[in-house]
Amino acid sequence: MDGRARSHRWHLTRLATAAALVVATLGLAAPPAHAEAGPKVTVLTRNLFLGGDLTPSIGAPTLPAFLAANAALLGHVDRVDFPARAALIADEIRERKPDLVGLQEVALWRTGTLGDPAPATEIRYDYLALLMAELATSGHPYDVAVVQDEADLEAPAGAPYQVDVRLTMRDVVLVRHGGRVQVTDTSSGNFVQNLVFPLAATGGTATSTRGWTAVDAVLGTRAFRFVNTHLEAFHPGVRALQAQELLRGPVNVAGPVILVGDLNSGPELPVPNNRIAYFILVAGGLVDTWPILHPGEPGYTAGLGDDLTEPADDVEHRIDMVMFRGAVVPVASEVFGTERQTADGRWASDHLGHSAVLALP
């Protein structure tokens, strides 16, 4: 291990220790019953699952292996059938009637002529358009409040496709159409710190750009900010820096804040470094709703496998969170997503959803 690696590892350990000490001093006291008075907002977070695993493509050692891995990825995206999964997610939203929804991995898959240097533009799957159509059909329409483009990756896919395939990742906030919550402003951004992968097959790199979306909203006379994010999955140091960016950026407001999203971090994850981003957010004043409302319950939200066919009780990580700061009181919450499957036996996503009711006293 070289000196830089030792220094980086020491820095992560120091961050984890300091954040854990702060968390320990904060405690998790249940709110007084009278604090639930005031208007209540229902929020929901859902990772839609992009449709496959990018790591075989990133790690492919040769160009033929890269072409084959990209073709396998596109085939897997077809097989796990987001149009069918979108119907399940629309049903989940219809049943819970959230005022605000935070979505992650809202993939846009496009294809183009093999080897064409121009970006691919032919839409294969637009996860946002498919979900919005299902919500409209269900009679419970939502409006798209804000969309943030994140990683935008394009590469050639070999047989049987022989096309360039392009994946654009997005985070999205939806607001219930004609609902009680009125959006007064929107904002979004990409993190400055993002993970860069080397691509051995091409000699190039790919950037895992991530970010956040937010709305400023009013419920009755109560103003608050709702923030949705998806932190880095594959590098705890980058993830920790992104958590710090959240605290300095969209979460850094005077009024109440509700943060939802796939944090890829949590207090009980088996690898200690994967807990750091969560501890940083809590040390920054954000409160995790789940242990307040469900003390002693695991609340696992991931993962159901890339094929979306794992047994429902195989989830083993709690990384999809609803957190808050300021004058907010958690009233109720649930983890959901194993109530129904597609006709071919797949879950709606590799994650479960998490919804919560929060009072604004």
Buried b (16+ CB within 10 A) or exposed e, 38-64: bbbbbbbbbbbbbbbebeebbebeeee
pLDDT at 36: 61
pLDDT over 50 at 27, yes or no: no
- pLDDT-derived band at 23 (thresholds 50, 70, 90) equals very low
- pLDDT-derived band at 22 (thresholds 50, 70, 90) equals very low
Q: Which residues contact 12 (CB under 8 A, 6 or more apart)?
A: 236, 237, 240, 273, 276
For 41-359, CATH number? Answer: 3.60.10.10
- The helix/strand/coil state of 118 is coil
Domain layout of the chain by residue ranges: 41-359
- Residue that wins the pLDDT comparison between 126 and 18: 126
pLDDT at 140: 77
pLDDT over 70 at 250, yes or no: yes
Q: Cα–Cα distance between 286 and 305 in angstroms, integer?
A: 30
- pLDDT-derived band at 358 (thresholds 50, 70, 90) equals very high
Mean residue pLDDT across the chain: 92
Cite the beta strand spans of the chain per DSSP E: 40-47, 100-104, 108-113, 122-126, 142-157, 163-176, 181-190, 195-199, 204-208, 211-219, 222-230, 257-262, 287-288, 320-325, 329-336, 353-359
- Residue that wins the pLDDT comparison between 228 and 33: 228
Q: Read off the pLDDT of each residue in 255-262 and give the average, rounded to a whole number.
A: 98
- pLDDT-derived band at 138 (thresholds 50, 70, 90) equals confident
Q: Read off the pLDDT of each residue in 66-88 and give the average, rounded to a whole number.
A: 98
pLDDT at 17: 44
Q: Which residues contact 243 (CB under 8 A, 6 or more apart)?
A: 231, 263, 265, 276, 277, 278, 280, 281, 284
pLDDT at 38: 86
- Lowest-pLDDT range of 1-5, 292-296, 319-323: 1-5
Q: Cα–Cα distance between 277 and 261 in angstroms, integer?
A: 13
With CA atoms as reference, report the closest residue to 82 among 120, 126, 139: 126
Q: Read off the pLDDT of each residue in 49-53 and give the average, rounded to a whole number.
A: 98
CA 193 vs CA 214, 236, 317: distances in Å: 19, 12, 24
Q: Read off the pLDDT of each residue in 163-167 and give the average, rounded to a whole number.
A: 98
